[in-house]
Amino acid sequence: MRRYVVRKVAVAIPLLFLVSIAVFAMLHTGQGDPVELFVGPTAPQSVQVQARHELGLDQPLVTQYFLFLRRALHGDFGESITYREPVGQLIRDRLPATLLLGGTALLLSYALAIPLGILAAARRNTWADYAITGGALVAMAVPSFWLALLLVLLFGVHWQLLPVSGYGSLSTLVLPAVALAAEGTGLSLRLMRSSMIEVLRQDYIRTLHAKGLNRWRILGVHAFKNALISTITLLGLRLGMIIGGAIVIENIFGWPGIGRLLVSSALQADFPVVQGLTLLLAAAAIVANVTADILYAVIDPRVRY
C-alpha cells in the first residue's frame, strides 16, 4: 500500500512541475512583449526599462522560472493587471463562491444519480429502467452550458420563477447548481446501475433471498456499499468535471467565483491571474485525482499493484 501511494505521489509531482513550466511560459510565448502588458504599449522607454527590471524580465528565462516557482510556493502570483490587486487576494475572495456552487452541484448530482441508478438496476429491463437509462443517455449528450441557457430561458425569463444571476440567496444558487450538476450525473447513474446489476447477479444475493431476508434490506445494504465504491471510482473524474464545468457555468450566471475570474482574465490577457488560477486549479485537480485513487485502493485491496 505504501509503495502504491508513494508511486502515485511520485508521478504527480513531475506532472505538477510540467504544468508550472507551461503556466510560466504563458507570459513568454511570443504573443507580444510582456512588459507592454503591464505598463501599456504607450509607456515611455524609461518606464518600460524600470518595469522590466522590477518584474525581473531582464533576467535569463531559467532564473525567471525559478523565481516564479519560489514565489508561487509562497502564494505570491503577483498583481492582476486588470484589478491592480494581488492575485492571491482575488482568488481568496472568490473561492468560497465556487466551493459553494461545486459542493452543492456534487451533492445534487449524487442525490439524483445513486437512488435512480439503484432503482434502474432493481427494475432492470422494465419501463422504469428504460426511462431512467434513456434519460441518463440524453443527459450525457446535453452540453452543460446549453442546459444552463435553457434553464435561464425557462425559469428566469419565461416563468420568472428564479433569478438568473447574482449571489447571496438560496434562489440564486438553484439554477447554476442544477446546470453544473447535470454534466456528470448521467455517468454516475450508469455506473451505479451497472455495478448494482453486477452485484445483484451474484450467488450470495440469491442465498440471502432464499434465507428469507427482506428484498429491500438486501438492496439497501448492498446498494450502500456499491454506492460508496462507484462514487469513489468516479470521484476524481467528477471533481475534474466540476472544476471544468464551473468555469463555463459561472460565466453564464455571473456567479462570482474563480471560474468566471479565469475566463475574464484569459480573455483580457491578465496573465498573472491566469497563471495563478491555472496552476492552483491544476494542482487541485491532480491532488483530487491522487486522493481518489488512494481512497479506491483503501476500499479495494486488489488494486494496489
Task: Report in angstroms how near the CB of residue 278 gets to another protein at its nearest.
Answer: 5
Q: Are 175 and 255 a contacting pair, CB within 8 Å? A: no
CB closer to another protein out of 1 and 25? 25
Task: Give helix 127-141 / helix 170-200 axis angle, nearest 10°.
Answer: 130
CB closer to another protein out of 104 and 251? 251
242's enclosing H/E stretch is helix 215-253
Task: Report in angstroms how near the CB of residue 240 gets to another protein at its nearest.
Answer: 4
* CB atoms near residue 298 (< 10 Å): 14
Proportion of the chain in helix, strand, coil states, percent, rounded to 5: 80, 0, 20
Task: Report in angstroms how near the CB of residue 225 gets to another protein at its nearest.
Answer: 23
Task: Report in angstroms how near the CB of residue 216 gets to another protein at its nearest.
Answer: 30
CB closer to another protein out of 213 and 284? 284
CB closer to another protein out of 223 and 258? 258
Task: Report in angstroms how near the CB of residue 136 gets to another protein at its nearest.
Answer: 10
| Cα–Cα distance for residue pair 296/305, rounded to 1 Å | 12
Which amino acid, one-letter code, is at 164?
Answer: V
Instruction: Provide the 3-class DSSP secondary structure of residue 86.
Output: strand
Chain centroid to CA 112: how far? Answer: 19
CB closer to another protein out of 150 and 161? 150
Task: Report in angstroms how near the CB of residue 53 gets to another protein at its nearest.
Answer: 24
Tell me which residues touch another protein (CB under 8 A): 7-8, 10-12, 15, 19, 22-23, 25-26, 29, 31, 137-138, 140-146, 149-150, 153, 157, 236-237, 239-241, 243-245, 247-248, 251, 262-263, 266-267, 271, 274-275, 278, 281-282, 285-286, 289-290, 292-293
Q: Are 122 and 231 a contacting pair, CB within 8 Å? A: no
Q: Are 296 and 232 a contacting pair, CB within 8 Å? A: yes
Task: Report in angstroms how near the CB of residue 202 gets to another protein at its nearest.
Answer: 16
Task: Report in angstroms how near the CB of residue 221 gets to another protein at its nearest.
Answer: 28
* Alpha-carbon torsion angle 218, 221, 222, 223, nearest 10: 110
CB closer to another protein out of 49 and 299? 299
CB closer to another protein out of 66 and 146? 146
CB closer to another protein out of 108 and 142? 142
Instruction: Provide the 3-class DSSP secondary structure of residue 79.
Output: strand
Residue 60 falls in which region: left (phi positive, over 0), alpha (psi -120 to 50) or beta: beta
Question: Given CA atoms 94, 96, 97, 102 in this order, what sign does their dihedral have?
Answer: positive
Cell matching residue 73:
510556493
